[in-house]
C-alpha cells in the first residue's frame, strides 16, 4: 500500500493543491446552486421566510409570492427555518415534477407532530415512500379503483343517496351532518363491511373524535416541532407543553380508531358472519400466503383502512356543502341544471349513472364546484411531497429533502385560465375547447398527483355525480329569508389558518331546502323503504 510518507514533497504539494482546488470548485458550485434555486422571498438567518407567511390563507400568500418574484409565478422557493420549500402554482409544473418525475417526488416529509407524537406514521397519507406504501396503496386501489369493485358498490351508493335525501327532507338544518354520514357510511361498509345505521354509530363517533382532535392539535408543518425536531423531547410538565399533551391525546384516539373496527372484523370472521370488505379480503389473502398475519401486517392493514375513512369523509363533505352554497348564491345555475335533469330523466324516477353522458351541463356544474371551492387548498390534507434527491427543472435547482407544496387553490384560481375565478360559472367549461377543458379539469388536481393520487378518486367522483344529480332532481335549494322577508345571500368564506389549512371548511350559512313536490317526497320515501 502506498502512503503519503513514501511520496516526495513535490507530489504531496500537487495533491494538496488539487484538494484545495476541488474545495474551491465545490464551494463555487454550492454558491451557484443556491443562486440557481427558484425565485422567492429573501430569507433571514434562523427563521428563513417563516415570518413572512401569514397565519391565514397561506395559499393566497403563496400565489402572491409567485406573481411578485417570478414572471410566470409557477415555481417559488422559500426556506422555513432550515427546511427547503418548493411551492408550485401551476398544474403543468405539478404534473412535470410530481407525475413525470414521481420516483423523486413521492416521499413524505418526516413531520414529527403527526407521525411520531400523534401516531399517524403508518397512515397511507403520511407514510414514507417505499415497500409498505406500495402494498398499502395496492390494497386501497383494489378496493376503490377496480372497475368490478366500483360496479359492485352501485346498490350501496343508491341506498345511501336515498338515505341522504330523506335526511335533508326531514332535517335540512343538519345538512353538513347528513353529508358526512353519507360518505362515512359508504366508506365504512366497503372498508369494514359495517353498515352505519345512524349518526350515533360508535365507530363514526370515534373516528370523528380522532379527526377533530387532530385538526385542533395542529396540521402538518403548523408547529415548531416539525422544523425543530429536538422539541419532541420537551417535558410535558413544563409550561407551554399543551401542544404535546394534545398530540398524546390524539395518539390514544388514533389507536382506538384503527383498532376498534379491525378487531370487529376479526371477531366476525372468526364467528363466520363477516361481510365482504377490504379488511376481510386482505386478511384472507395474507393468511392464505403466510398462514397468519404478522404484527407488522396487522398494523399496516389497520392504518390503511383508517386512512380511507379519515381522508374521504371531510373532503367529500366539503364538495357537497360547496355545491349547496353555490346553488344558493347562483340560483340561475340551479334552475338551468334542474331543467336539464328534468328533460333527460323526467320526474317519475331519479337520475342514475347511465344518465351521466346525457347531462353535460351538470358535468360542468360538478367541475365548477370542485374548482370554485377546492376541498384542500394546499394538496391532499395539506401534506407536502418530499424530494429524495437533488433535481434540476428549467434550470432551477431543487434540493434534496425539500418540502414540495402544490397550491391547488392557486391552480383553480389562475385568472389566466379562469376569467373572474371567484365567480361560480359552469358555462366557462362549455366555452372551452375539449383539450383545454380536459387539461384544466379540477379532477386532475384536487385528488393529488402521481403516486400520491387519491386511490378513491373514481369512487368519490361517482358519488359526487349521483348525490348532486339526485339533489337537483328532488329538492328545492333556495336562499333563506331574514326577519323582514329579504333574501340572505351567504358569503363564500371558509376557515383558514395553520390549524385549519389542510381542509377549507365552509363557514356555516343559512339556506332553505325542501322537497320540490309531494311526488318527490313520496318517491324518496319509497326508495328508502325498498333499498
Residue 511 among known ligand-binding residues:
no
Query: Cα separation of 230 and 226, whole Å?
Result: 9
Mean pLDDT in residue range 409-436: 94
Cβ(130)–Cβ(496) below 8 Å:
no
Whole-number pLDDT of residue 4: 41
> Can you give the pLDDT at residue 225?
76
CA distance 60 to 95: 21
The predicted pLDDT at position 276 comes to: 93
Q: What is the pLDDT of residues 5-43, one digit of tens each?
A: 444 555 556 566 666 556 554 444 444 445 589 999 999
**Number of C-beta neighbours around residue 400 at 10 A:** 12
Residue 380 above 80 pLDDT? no
Return the pLDDT at 40. Answer: 93
pTM of this prediction? Answer: 0.88
CATH match for 36-530 among 3.40.50.1980, 1.10.630.10, 2.40.50.140, 1.20.58.2050: 1.10.630.10
- CA distances to 153, 279, 307, 341 from 285, rounded to whole Å, are 21, 10, 20, 44
Q: 343-371: per-residue pLDDT in tens?
A: 999 989 999 999 999 999 999 999 999 99
- Note whether 401 and 84 are within 8 A (CB): yes
- Where residue 158 falls among pLDDT bands split at 50, 70, 90? very high
Domain ranges across the chain: 36-530
The 10 Å Cβ neighbour count of residue 428 is: 20
d(CA 464, CA 446): 13
> Closest Cα to residue 244, out of 118, 420, 366?
118
- How far is residue 400 from each of residues 102, 175, 248, 506, 519, measured CA to CA in Å? 14, 45, 31, 36, 62
* Closest C-alpha to 315, from 380, 409, 221: 380
Range picked from 31-45, 113-127, 222-236, 473-487 for highest mean pLDDT: 473-487
Predicted pLDDT at 46:
86
Listed in sequence order, the residues at least 6 apart from 247 whose beta carbon sits closer than 8 Å to its beta carbon are 113, 117, 118, 217, 218
Q: How confident is the model at residue 222 (pLDDT cuts 50, 70, 90)?
A: low
Provide the grid cell at 519. 311526488
The C-alpha cell at 353 is: 349513472
DSSP state, residue 451: G
- Euclidean distance between CA atoms 113 and 119, whole angstroms: 9
Amino acid at each position: 500500500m502506498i502512503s503519503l510518507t513514501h511520496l516526495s514533497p513535490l507530489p504531496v504539494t500537487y495533491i494538496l493543491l488539487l484538494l484545495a482546488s476541488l474545495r474551491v470548485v465545490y464551494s463555487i458550485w454550492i454558491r451557484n446552486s443556491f443562486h440557481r434555486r427558484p425565485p422567492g422571498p429573501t430569507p433571514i438567518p434562523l427563521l428563513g421566510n417563516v415570518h413572512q407567511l401569514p397565519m391565514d390563507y397561506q395559499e393566497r400568500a403563496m400565489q402572491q409570492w409567485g406573481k411578485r418574484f417570478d414572471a410566470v409565478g409557477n415555481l417559488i422557493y422559500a426556506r422555513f427555518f432550515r427546511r427547503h420549500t418548493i411551492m408550485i402554482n401551476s398544474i403543468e409544473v405539478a404534473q412535470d415534477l410530481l407525475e413525470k418525475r414521481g420516483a423523486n417526488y413521492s416521499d413524505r416529509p418526516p413531520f414529527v407532530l403527526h407521525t411520531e407524537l400523534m401516531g399517524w406514521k403508518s397512515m397511507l397519507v403520511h407514510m414514507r415512500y417505499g415497500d409498505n406504501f406500495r402494498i398499502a396503496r395496492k390494497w386501497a386501489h383494489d378496493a376503490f379503483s377496480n372497475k368490478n369493485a366500483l360496479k359492485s358498490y352501485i346498490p350501496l351508493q343508491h341506498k345511501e343517496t336515498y338515505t341522504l335525501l330523506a335526511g335533508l327532507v326531514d332535517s335540512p338544518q343538519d345538512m353538513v351532518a347528513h353529508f358526512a354520514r353519507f360518505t362515512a357510511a359508504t366508506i365504512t361498509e366497503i372498508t369494514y363491511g359495517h353498515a352505519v345505521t345512524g349518526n350515533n354509530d360508535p365507530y363514526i363517533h370515534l373516528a370523528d373524535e380522532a379527526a377533530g382532535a387532530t385538526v385542533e392539535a395542529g396540521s402538518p408543518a403548523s408547529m415548531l416541532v416539525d422544523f425543530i425536531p429536538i422539541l419532541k423531547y420537551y417535558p410535558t410538565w413544563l409550561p407551554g407543553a399543551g401542544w404535546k399533551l394534545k398530540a398524546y391525546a390524539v395518539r390514544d384516539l388514533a389507536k382506538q380508531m384503527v383498532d376498534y373496527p379491525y378487531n370487529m372484523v376479526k371477531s366476525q370472521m372468526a364467528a363466520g358472519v363477516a361481510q365482504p370488505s377490504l379488511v376481510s379480503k386482505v386478511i384472507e389473502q395474507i393468511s392464505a400466503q403466510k398462514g397468519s398475519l404478522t404484527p407488522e401486517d396487522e398494523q399496516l392493514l389497520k392504518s390503511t383502512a383508517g386512512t380511507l375513512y379519515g381522508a374521504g369523509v371531510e373532503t367529500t363533505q366539503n364538495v357537497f356543502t360547496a355545491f349547496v352554497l353555490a346553488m344558493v348564491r347562483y340560483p340561475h345555475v340551479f334552475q338551468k341544471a334542474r331543467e336539464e335533469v328534468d328533460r333527460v330523466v323526467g320526474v317519475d324516477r331519479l337520475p342514475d349513472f347511465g344518465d351521466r353522458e346525457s347531462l353535460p351541463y351538470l358535468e360542468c356544474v360538478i367541475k365548477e364546484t370542485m374548482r370554485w371551492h377546492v376541498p384542500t387548498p394546499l394538496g391532499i390534507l395539506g401534506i407536502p411531497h418530499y424530494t429524495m434527491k437533488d433535481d434540476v427543472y428549467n434550470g432551477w435547482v431543487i434540493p434534496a429533502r425539500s418540502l414540495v407544496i402544490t397550491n391547488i387553490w392557486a391552480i383553480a384560481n389562475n385568472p389566466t385560465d379562469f376569467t373572474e375565478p371567484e365567480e361560480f360559472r359552469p358555462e366557462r367549461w362549455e366555452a372551452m375547447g375539449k383539450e383545454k377543458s380536459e387539461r384544466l379539469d379540477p379532477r386532475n388536481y384536487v385528488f393529488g398527483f402521481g403516486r400520491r393520487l387519491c386511490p378513491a378518486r373514481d369512487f368519490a367522483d361517482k358519488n359526487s355525480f349521483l348525490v348532486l344529480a339526485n339533489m337537483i332532481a328532488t329538492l328545492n335549494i333556495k336562499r333563506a329569508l331574514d326577519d323582514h322577508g329579504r333574501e340572505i345571500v351567504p358569503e363564500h368564506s371558509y376557515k383558514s389558518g395553520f390549524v385549519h389549512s389542510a381542509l377549507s371548511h365552509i363557514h356555516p350559512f343559512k339556506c332553505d331546502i325542501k322537497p320540490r313536490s309531494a311526488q318527490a317526497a313520496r318517491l324518496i320515501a319509497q326508495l328508502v323503504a325498498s333499498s
